[in-house]
Structure 1
Amino acid sequence: MRLKLLLLFSILGGICSTNAQKITILTQHGKESFRGLSVVNDSIAWVSGTHGNVGKSIDHGKTWEWFTISECDKCDFRSIQAFDNNTAIVVAIDTPSFIFKTKDGGKTWNKVWESHTSGMFLDACHFVGKNGYVIGDPVDGQIFTLETMNQGETWKPVQIFAQPQTNEAFFASSASNIVFSKKIAPIAVSGGEHASLFYKKKSYRLPITQGKTSTGANSIVLNNNKLENIAAIIVGGDFMNKESSDSNIVLVKKSFFLNPNVSAFQLSKTPPKGYKSSVTQINNETFIATGTSGTDISNDEGVNWKHISDQPFHVIQSVFKGNWIVLAGPNGIVANLSF
């Protein structure tokens, strides 16, 4: 699905903070919109966005190197997966849709997949090791999904999800609506007139706001805490009504993976402020969600949230138990969140 910056910074390194948390602008690259973000470790991060722009830092965001894929200088790369300093995959959303891979740190890019199919719209990708999936909006009534088992060298279409309902699709707002792990099969969360969680060839209606093309689930993260009660957190809302906190987050209980059913879904006691397009986990109980309504934090596995910044972003990512939390968004801004 296709989707102004509220605060302006007079200089790079402008700060928006509340209490102990601080958001610091690392770089501003023109007026590009960044929705693709991949944090490899505490030193390396890649971002991607409009006009074929891809950026990389290997020094914890102090300096950035920028690339434009010549064949795709008008592409919108809303999804990126980086594996190290040299290797990364970028996904261009539509008309036509492309997947490119670099093995030399962004100097050259090899086209590893393309489609000129009408209606094709690629929303997100996710990797675990060399295995990865790209998910797209429905084509001919079926969720379009690509699979790779060799770190994106080759791709093949697969049907691993149930059929969506009419006017149900996916958001490319932060490229994080599909996730899986070594133990958990791919999960996808949708939006539109209907919002569902897709898992193992079945779909489950989410208690998240829905009913319009601008509503639904945008992002999902699995809980890495082995002792968790909450197994996953899903965020979204209505991007046309960004201040609304009505049913904008769903907590998935651990019991879902033992006996999948909608009774395993619950809403937060204190929800985050407004529409959220991305969520990440930074330690056992702490999660952070962001969107055009700003950024919120939870220290109890998503049950209660506290608003910490009004600065709008599209995507947030960190390495679990790492020391670098990166945000990216409109007006070419990439930022760091610290405590």
Structure 2
Amino acid sequence: MTLHRKLSIAVLALVMVGGTGFTPGSGPSWQLTETGATARFRGLAPVSAKVAWAAGSAGTVLRTVDGGRTWASVGPPEAAGLQFRDIEASDSRHATALTIGNGPDSRIYATSDGGATWTETFRNADPAAFYDCLTFFDRRHGLALSDPVDGKFRILATRDGGRTWQVRPTGGMPDALPGEFAFAASGTCLVSAGRHAWFATGGNPTARVFSSRDGGWTWSVTAAPVPGGATAGVYSLAFRDPRHGLAVGGDYNTPAAAPDGSAVTRDGGRHWTVSKTVPGEYRSGAAWRGRTTALAVGPTGSDISYDGGVSWRRFDTGSFDAVECTADGSCWASGQDGRIARLRWNH
């Protein structure tokens, strides 16, 4: 999998860049913040209604501690030529961010002082590996996912909050299918809940979801009903607990049409069912807000579900790549041209 193929997501000519697409009246809408940035933010890590981090192109990392009224550019200077695709944060001071690419372009940086200083804690030395996503079970234990190496997806793990990383043995990993890989589109191709973890794939006609119940040591895999293909499959997962999950995706080369582009599970990913009403277009990010409300975003708009992903309706037509919600109920979205927004509810 080449960097050129991965980055082709970022150069789509069909994405919508103007406005927020608000529909007047009741319900949700996105309120854009003034970031002062032009990067494309596919990495998003809100912590609360006040604190959020975003990571994107040209080594850009932003942080806000006032709900998005102001943003500080806090990225590591040595990463200026790299592409951040995921960031995970536990508070306003601690964050871990992943850059993507073949070989040494896949790196992990960590900060414990709000981005004032960063430490490069991992640099990929295997030219066949390409890391896509991060997830943390808690403040100390986390995983990173690479596309297949020698026919198996590779797992990188930390036990000390991202300060050091070790490549896991692949004995507990099922074989990858021909052409199968994960999408570094929104930092949510690899997610976790409790000690459970999941990652999603595409690239093959059969898109799949891998799941682990032991912190990422051993994995099982099941086919997803979202159609796969060379540039199609499941782009994003979201789990609100170890049993209830969402999968969204499509084909980024045809973003305006995504039949069967979302699915739900109620048994931890063993079985997936296509949503009764799907977004109908390619979606690269999904998130839960509470027990039954969920959000999905993509380059052609945003959708909301009030029944756990069974049915969706459009509420915005602006372009976003990633969406995340926090324990206090605040939801954030990020995307191209420096776009970062907070969800507001109109009454």
Report if TM-score (shorter chain) is over 0.5. Answer: yes
Query: Partner of 2:29: helix, strand, or coil?
Result: strand
Q: Is the 8 A contact 1:29 1:331 kept in 2?
A: no
Matched, 1:24 2:56: no
Residue in 2 that maps onto 1:217: 234
Aligned mates of 2:48, 2:250 — CA distance in 1 = 30
Aligned mates of 1:166, 1:266 — CA distance in 2 = 24
Aligned mates of 2:74, 2:65 — CA distance in 1 = 14
Q: 1:309 to 1:18 in 2, by over 3 A?
A: farther
Aligned mates of 2:244, 2:18 — CA distance in 1 = 37
Shift of 1:274: 0.4
- Which AA in structure 1 matches 2:187? A
Query: Partner of 2:81: helix, strand, or coil?
Result: coil
Q: 1:68 to 1:182 in 2, by over 3 A?
A: closer
Shift of 1:188: 1.0
Q: Is the 8 A contact 1:91 1:99 kept in 2?
A: yes
Residue in 1 that maps onto 2:317: 310
Residue in 1 that maps onto 2:202: 191
Residue in 1 that maps onto 2:159: 149
Residue in 2 that maps onto 1:98: 107
Matched, 1:178 2:190: yes
Q: 1:298 to 1:18 in 2, by over 3 A?
A: farther
Of stretches 149-158 and 230-239 in structure 1, the one that deviates more from structure 2 is 230-239
Q: Is the 8 A contact 1:32 1:51 kept in 2?
A: yes
Residue ranges of structure 2 left out of the alignment (5+ in a row): 1-5, 213-218
Identity of aligned residues (%): 26
Cα deviation, 1:114-134, whole Å, max 9, x if unaligned, reads 024223321110112121101
- Which AA in structure 1 matches 2:152? Q
Shift of 1:50: 0.6
Residue in 1 that maps onto 2:335: 329
Query: Partner of 2:226: helix, strand, or coil?
Result: coil
- Match for 1:285 among 276, 283, 292? 292
- Mapping for residues 6-155 of structure 1, pairs under 5 Å: 6-9=16-19, 16-17=22-23, 19=25, 20-95=27-102, 96=104, 97-129=106-138, 130-155=140-165
Aligned mates of 2:336, 2:17 — CA distance in 1 = 11
Number of aligned residues: 322
- Which AA in structure 2 matches 1:21? P
- Which AA in structure 2 matches 1:204? T
Q: 1:6 to 1:181 in 2, by over 3 A?
A: closer
Shift of 1:15: 6.7
CA RMSD of aligned residues (A): 1.8
Residue in 2 that maps onto 1:276: 283
Cα deviation, 1:202-259, whole Å, max 9, x if unaligned, reads 221111111x2210001111134x9xxx7111111111111113010111123x56xx
Shift of 1:273: 3.3
Query: Partner of 2:22: helix, strand, or coil?
Result: strand
Q: Is the 8 A contact 1:136 1:143 kept in 2?
A: yes
Query: Partner of 1:274: helix, strand, or coil?
Result: coil
Q: Is the 8 A contact 1:15 1:25 kept in 2?
A: no
TM-score normalised by length of structure 1: 0.90
- Which AA in structure 1 matches 2:179? N
Shift of 1:72: 1.4
Aligned mates of 2:323, 2:141 — CA distance in 1 = 22
- Mapping for residues 223-302 of structure 1, pairs under 5 Å: 223-224=240-241, 231-254=244-267, 256=268, 260=270, 264-302=271-309
Aligned mates of 1:233, 1:173 — CA distance in 2 = 16
Aligned mates of 1:98, 1:55 — CA distance in 2 = 18
Q: 1:18 to 1:281 in 2, by over 3 A?
A: farther
Residue in 1 that maps onto 2:221: 203
Q: 1:15 to 1:312 in 2, by over 3 A?
A: closer
Residue ranges of structure 1 left out of the alignment (5+ in a row): none
Shift of 1:17: 3.5
Shift of 1:199: 2.0
- Which AA in structure 2 matches 1:172? A
Aligned mates of 2:298, 2:63 — CA distance in 1 = 22
Shift of 1:52: 0.5
Q: Is the 8 A contact 2:21 2:316 kept in 1?
A: no
Q: Is the 8 A contact 2:290 2:329 kept in 1?
A: no
TM-score normalised by length of structure 2: 0.88
